[in-house]
A = this chain, B = another copy of it.
Amino acid sequence: MPKPTFLNLEERKRKRITYAFLREFAVRSYDEASLTVVVKQLGIAKGSVYQYFDDKLDLFLYLIGECARVKQDYIASIKREDYPDYWSYFRELFKRGCQFDAENPLQSHFLHNLTQNLNSPSIKNIFDEMMSQTVAAFEQMVEQEVQAGLFRPDVPVKTMGFLLYKIGVSIQEQLEVTGAINPAESIENNQSVYQGKKEILLQTVDEYIRLARGAFDRNEAPSAFGISPVGETS
């Protein structure tokens, strides 16, 4: 939690500082990120950072909180009940994610880099909990769909929830591995993560959805009935 010293800062300065650190943590992992470097860029005293935050971790957690809050604003309004099935809802999440990315490039980069950041032992505990929460959220979604008879009931919710979470992550990773997006490069050029790549992102989302439907949706056997009644009736 930042100290009052930081919160009382003139907004301009507070944002300047926040952005500089976001940029650093968007490019390097927690352990690699160097306060020294950022402080030099900012032209502020090293000691100041310790007037604002308890330590490196405190600062880092603040940044996570801020970015999560901003992204949440984009996503919170998307309600499952406004969509006919889970997958159109799922797709919408990515669409809004794109909007968030375009309007908050630095925050988007920061969160993006976060995903590949689960190791640094200094923060392992914290990350584990964060991930647990995220996974739990997906489990809950799955639970709802199962209850509604839309997702298959024959696989534990835990497993489906985790795979669903992983599918979300995979979409980003695949784009990165195949070179469709290049965060390291785009942040260098002051571009957002998905700048000019919205189409390919959504296309990939659709491909994954096609696969996921087969995996998660309740088997349409009854409808198959309607298709091949002959064999059955005979």
Task: Report A's interface with B, CB cutoff 8 A.
Answer: 28-29, 31-32, 116-121, 128, 131-132, 135, 152, 154-156, 158-160, 162-163, 166-167, 169-170, 173-174, 177-178, 204, 207-208, 210-212, 214-217, 219, 221-222, 224-225, 227-234
Contact = CB atoms under 8 A, between A and B. Distances in A.
Which secondary structure characterizes the binding site on chain A? helix
Copy number of this protein in the oligomer?
Answer: 4
Instruction: List the 9 closest A-B pairs by CB distance, nearest first.
Output: A229-B231, A215-B215, A214-B214, A211-B215, A233-B234, A162-B174, A159-B207, A166-B170, A214-B215
Given A155-B210, A162-B174, A163-B208, 19 more contacts: A32-B120, A116-B119, A117-B119, A119-B119, A128-B177, A154-B210, A155-B207, A159-B211, A163-B211, A166-B166, A166-B173, A214-B216, A221-B228, A225-B227, A225-B228, A229-B231, A230-B233, A231-B232, A231-B233
